[in-house]
Amino acid sequence: MRTTTTTTTTTYPARPIAPAVLKELRELDDAGHAARPFADAEGGAPLRCCLRRSEPGERIALVSYAPLRRWAAETGATPGAYDEQGPVFIHAEDCAGPDGGGLPFTNAHRTVRRYSADGRILGGRLVEGRPAAFEAALVEAFDDPAVALVHVRAVEYGCFLYEVRRG
């Protein structure tokens, strides 16, 4: 049985961690540590590779990930002090990726953090755990032409869940 994740259709789809990056993280994470896979006894971990919650017994790993640093390397941005790394759950082995192009993890309050093309934070917003609220927050963010990238993060720990890029 697969754990469901609330997903909504959107103009601005969530982007999982790219397969090439996942391959790197499964060997050595962004903090320089080797991944330590384990069987998830309880399930429910938010997986950033396929944007769903883990199932009990799935092999996953908790790795350190620097999403803004990796985006900056692609785009030439220089985020400076805004470059941060934190823990994310991924499958221990390759997976099929997300089922769809919607917005996952919309069933709880989240923060939507906005970034400029040079990697600076332009602001953020607390979003209620309703799919329509997420869509509205992304439309609002990208209505500002200075916003190039949005990170959706968990409120409880501030963990990165996924990014959304300007279309």
**Tens-digit pLDDT string for the chain (167 aa):** 444 444 455 688 999 999 999 999 999 999 999 999 999 999 999 999 999 999 999 999 999 999 999 999 999 999 999 999 999 999 999 999 998 768 999 999 999 999 999 999 999 999 999 989 999 999 999 999 999 999 999 998 889 999 999 87
What's the whole-model pTM score?
A: 0.90
Domain residue ranges of the chain, discontinuous segments joined by +: 19-91, 110-165
- Is residue 60 within 8 A of residue 47, CB to CB? The reply is yes
